[in-house]
Copies of this chain bind each other. A is one copy, B any other.
Amino acid sequence: MLLHMFYFFFFIPCVLFVVLPQPLVVDGLREIRTKQPHFDESPTYLWPLPAEFTSGDEVFTVDPSLELVVDGAGGASDIVREAFERYRKIIFEHSGSDYVAGRFRFKRVLRESIISEYDVSQLKITVHSDNEELQFGVDESYTLLVSAGEVTIEANTVYGALRGIETFSQLCAFDYTTKTVQIHKAPWVIHDQPRFAYRGLMLDTSRHYLPATVIKQIIDSMSYAKFNVLHWHIIDEESFPLEVPSYPNLWNGSYTKWERYTVEDAYDIVNFAKTRGINVMAEVDVPGHAESWGAGYPDLWPSPTCREPLDVSKNFTFDVVSGILTELRKIFPFELFHLGGDEVNTDCWSQTPHVKQWLQNNNFATKDAYRYFVLKAQEIALSKNWTPVNWEETFNAFPSKLSPQTIVHNWLGPGVCPKAAAKGFRCIYSNQGVWYLDHLDVPWDEVYTAEPLEGISDASQQKLVIGGEVCMWGETVDTSDIQQTIWPRAAAAAERLWSPRESTLKANITSTTLPRLLNFRCLLNRRGVAAAPVRHFYARQAPDRAGSCYVQ
């Protein structure tokens, strides 16, 4: 009765022919519509693909009054209950919104006249641990069983339960003929867990300010693809939007007095993310990319006319760095903290008299001063019980000096994680050629086939690659276009980071992966996320003609 997961790969191509007989041909769409063969098919697509799963050939109906039953030490968690309520709205969107409850009683009557009883009326969630700490490496595994009469999710942590609920929501599809939510290819047995512990998306709120509401929208969408780290590149040279109470002039570097985050806003974002199983890793990029700091404290500039990097010669500079980190430590419980360290042009140091003098006094070349700054920042972070993350330049320049705890954040190109792992460093993969979302000329399949472990064959070294991250730099991205620039390409990376390497490698990318991604993009759209058409070469391009979401 239950079939092995490989069934999935053999089965999909048959379904596919129906869904995509003549992709992107509008006249072909008309043919689909008039022939309608696809109306008899209900493929169930999951994104990202679970680690192990089997499915059957039955169709179960789901009761719109689906009841949550919890068990285990952690089952009574607010995080679980609130997630259930969120997903109930998603799964039963066609039952009308809350506010109309009672106004359309006929709807239930109508439904009940068709369906006398449902196959699934309970979702049972068992969470073994009541420890809700969300840390690096938290157990996100879950087992999802769908059988007649019962759906059970079993997880060690509430965060595993969240992943299971997301998967359950993707199994549920509204059937327009019977007007019920159905689960196709039931029964299901899913044992799932992530391939990598770190699955990140970076947001840049310095080039363009993103309102907290917008960041929360993005966090919600991240959870649909099972991302688990929001790397918040809060400040950069263009603007400093964050409040730092001990240095209250720092956010004078914001674009305007309305484009700011209070400490409470930041807390709120961190806790919102936590309820979605997403850690927030803050970044304070030093010593470059920090010109905006000087808007409030011009002493941080080498001089008023030469403003970057931060003045390495002053104790005040490190007082401010330490002050910022002290404040941020109260807000960001995640054990990883990003110290930047990229693209440091030290000309201002060698050209500004008092800094030049300091370099000479210390017998420092500018590269020595760069190392001095980075290591001093690392010390500050380490003293606050943070694991420092640095962009790869620090590793490329002085690997043997870095704290061995350093996590190297690759970006410049391929081949860095192999080198970092060979030296015993942990690594995050973000090769800009494939995982920088601001590179608009990278189509989805190039994002998808990128491989964080490329060039690393030794198993113990592979383990040092903790995962990867897609980066959404903000020069041409603001509230108006950020969702369409992130999605659907971020989803391609999300599956690479979640699903077993074998299953993603084995898949025929055109015949099995593409239709699942098309489906996931339409799922994002249904949930209100402005994910762009999948098939365009350039990202975030408008659809170029009328047509179905499922082929564009």
Residues of B within 8 Å of A481, CB to CB, are: 484, 530, 532, 540, 542-543
What are the residues of chain B within 8 A of A478 when measuring CB–CB?
525, 533, 543, 549, 552
Q: Is the CB of B243 within 8 A of A480?
A: no
Q: How far is the CB of A244 from chain B (nearest CB, A)?
A: 13
Q: Give the copy number.
A: 2
Q: Within 8 Å CB of A265, what residues of B? A: 94
B100 with A268: CB separation less than 8 A: yes
Instruction: Mark each residue of chain A from 25 to 53: 1 if its CB lies under 8 Å from any CB of chain B, else 0.
Output: 01001101110101100100000000000
The smallest C-beta distance from A498 to any residue of chain B, in angstroms, reads 23
Q: Let me know if A506 is at the binding interface, CB within 8 A.
A: no
A33 and B550 in contact (CB under 8 A), knowing A96-B264, A264-B96, A476-B545?
no
In the bound complex, do residue A476 and residue B543 qualify as a contact, i.e. CB atoms below 8 Å apart? Answer: yes
Of residues 250 through 287 on chain A, the ones whose CB sits less than 8 Å from some CB of chain B are 251-260, 262, 264-265, 267-268, 271-272, 275
Q: Nearest chain-B residue to A484 (Cβ)? A: B480
Does A179 sit within 8 A of B, measured CB to CB? yes
For residue A65, CB closer than 8 A to chain B, the reply is no
Question: Is the Cβ of B254 less than 8 Å from the Cβ of A474?
Answer: no
Count of chain A residues with a beta carbon within 8 Å of a chain B beta carbon: 96
Flag if B525 contacts A479 (CB, 8 Å).
Answer: yes
Task: List the B side residues contacting A217 at CB < 8 Å.
Answer: 528
Contact with B along A502-529 (1 / 0, CB 8 A): 0000000000000000000010011111
User: Cβ of A531 < 8 Å from any Cβ of B?
Assistant: yes
- A551 → chain B closest CB, angstroms: 8
| Alpha-carbon distance A52/B194, docked complex (angstroms) | 60
Rounded to whole angstroms, the CA-CA distance of A410 and B268 in the bound complex is: 48
Does A207 sit within 8 A of B, measured CB to CB? yes
| Bound Cα distance from A42 to B103, whole angstroms | 43
- Which one of A112-120, A157-165, A208-216 contacts B? A208-216
Checking B104, B207, B212, B254 against A264 with a beta-carbon cut-off of 8 angstroms, the contacting residue is: B104
Contact A255 B550 (CB under 8 A): yes
Residues of B with C-beta under 8 A to A294: 34
A166 within 8 A of B: no
Contacts of A295 in B (CB 8 A): 30, 33-34, 36
Contact A531 B480 (CB under 8 A): yes
Residue of B nearest to A487 (CB): B480
A84-139 contacts to B, CB under 8 A, are 93-97, 99-100, 103-104, 107, 110
Name the residue among A82, A110, A481 with the largest chain B CB count within 10 angstroms: A481
14 A-B pairs with CB atoms under 8 Å apart are: A33-B239, A33-B252, A34-B294, A82-B99, A96-B268, A104-B268, A104-B271, A107-B264, A173-B258, A176-B260, A208-B549, A259-B548, A479-B525, A540-B542
